[in-house]
Structure 1
Amino acid sequence: MSPKRQGYLYVLITMCIWGGFTLTARLSANWGISAWDLTALRFVLAFIILMPILIYKKDTAFLCKKEPFILAMLGGVIYCLTAYSAFHYAPAAHAAIFLNGCIPLCTAVAAYVLFQQSFDRHTWISLAIMVISLGAMSFLMYLQTGQAFGLGDLLFFLSAIWWGIFTVLLRQWKLSAWHAMAGVAVWSAIIYVPIYLLFLPKHLTEPDPVHLISQVLFHGIFVVIIATLTYVEAIKRLGAFKTGSIVTLAPFIAAIIAVPLLNEPLNIAIVCGLAGMGIGALQPWRWLVHQDPLQQQLNEQKKQPD
Structure 2
Amino acid sequence: MSSRMQGYLFVLITMCIWGSFTILSRLNAEWHISAWDIAALRFCIGFCILMPILIVRGETAFLWKKEPFILGLLGGVAYCLTAYSAFMYVPAAHAAIFLNGCIPLCTAVAGFLLFKQPLDKHIWISLIIMLTALVGMSVLMYEQTHVAFSFGDGLFFLAAIWWGCFTVLLKQWKLSAWQAMSGVAIWSALIYIPIYICFLPKHLHEATLSHLMIQGIFHGVFVVIVATLSYIAAIERLGAFKAGSIVTLAPFIAAVVAVPLLNEPLSGAVVMGLVGMAIGALQPWRWFHRKDALQAQLEKQKLKQLQK
TM-score w.r.t. structure 2 length? 0.94
Instruction: Confirm whether residue 248 of structure 1 aligns to residue 239 of structure 2.
Output: no
- Deviation of 1:290 after TM superposition, in Å, equals 3.1
Letter of the 2:52 counterpart: P
Please, which runs of 5 or more residues in structure 2 have no aligned partner? 294-308
Letter of the 1:232 counterpart: I
Given that 1:105 and 1:123 are in contact with CA atoms closer than 8 Å, whether structure 2 keeps it comes out as yes
- 1:266 counterpart residue number: 266
- 2:17 counterpart residue number: 17
User: Which of 1 and 2 has greater Rg?
Assistant: 2
Letter of the 2:274 counterpart: L
- 2:154 counterpart residue number: 154
Distance in 1, matches of 2:225 and 2:113, equals 30
Letter of the 1:286 counterpart: R
- 2:31 counterpart residue number: 31
Of residues 208-217 and 108-117 in structure 1, the stretch that sits farther from structure 2 once superposed is 208-217
Given that 1:240 and 1:292 are in contact with CA atoms closer than 8 Å, whether structure 2 keeps it comes out as no
Letter of the 2:220 counterpart: G
- Deviation of 1:32 after TM superposition, in Å, equals 1.1
The within-5 A match list for 1:211-290 is 211-290=211-290
- Deviation of 1:291 after TM superposition, in Å, equals 6.5
Deviations 1:147-199 (CA, angstroms, capped at 9, x unpaired)? 00000000000000000000000000011111000000001111100110000
Letter of the 1:237 counterpart: R
Distance in 2, matches of 1:198 and 1:91, equals 31
Q: CA 1:4–1:292 in 2, change beyond 3 Å: closer, same or farther? A: farther
Given that 1:101 and 1:278 are in contact with CA atoms closer than 8 Å, whether structure 2 keeps it comes out as yes
Deviations 1:193-224 (CA, angstroms, capped at 9, x unpaired)? 01100000000100121111100100000000
Give the RMSD, CA atoms, in angstroms: 1.1
- Deviation of 1:64 after TM superposition, in Å, equals 0.8
Distance in 2, matches of 1:107 and 1:290, equals 22
Distance in 1, matches of 2:77 and 2:292, equals 33
Misfit runs of 4+, over 2 Å: 289-293
- 2:297 counterpart residue number: none
Distance in 2, matches of 1:155 and 1:137, equals 18
3-state DSSP of counterpart to 1:205: helix
Q: CA 1:151–1:292 in 2, change beyond 3 Å: closer, same or farther? A: farther
- 2:209 counterpart residue number: 209
* Number of residue equivalences: 293
3-state DSSP of counterpart to 2:206: coil
Deviations 1:16-69 (CA, angstroms, capped at 9, x unpaired)? 000000000000122110000100111100110001100110011110111000
- 2:99 counterpart residue number: 99
> Percent same amino acid at aligned positions?
70
Distance in 2, matches of 1:288 and 1:30, equals 43
- 1:8 counterpart residue number: 8
- Deviation of 1:292 after TM superposition, in Å, equals 11
Given that 1:35 and 1:84 are in contact with CA atoms closer than 8 Å, whether structure 2 keeps it comes out as yes
Given that 1:102 and 1:277 are in contact with CA atoms closer than 8 Å, whether structure 2 keeps it comes out as yes
Instruction: Confirm whether residue 44 of structure 1 aligns to residue 44 of structure 2.
Output: yes
The within-5 A match list for 1:34-113 is 34-113=34-113
3-state DSSP of counterpart to 1:202: coil
Letter of the 1:78 counterpart: A
TM-score w.r.t. structure 1 length? 0.94
- 2:125 counterpart residue number: 125
- 1:298 counterpart residue number: none
Distance in 2, matches of 1:292 and 1:178, equals 35
Distance in 1, matches of 2:242 and 2:268, equals 29
Distance in 2, matches of 1:118 and 1:290, equals 20
3-state DSSP of counterpart to 1:13: helix
- 1:302 counterpart residue number: none
Deviations 1:67-125 (CA, angstroms, capped at 9, x unpaired)? 00000000000100000000010000000000000000000000000000111010000
Given that 1:239 and 1:292 are in contact with CA atoms closer than 8 Å, whether structure 2 keeps it comes out as no
Given that 1:242 and 1:292 are in contact with CA atoms closer than 8 Å, whether structure 2 keeps it comes out as no
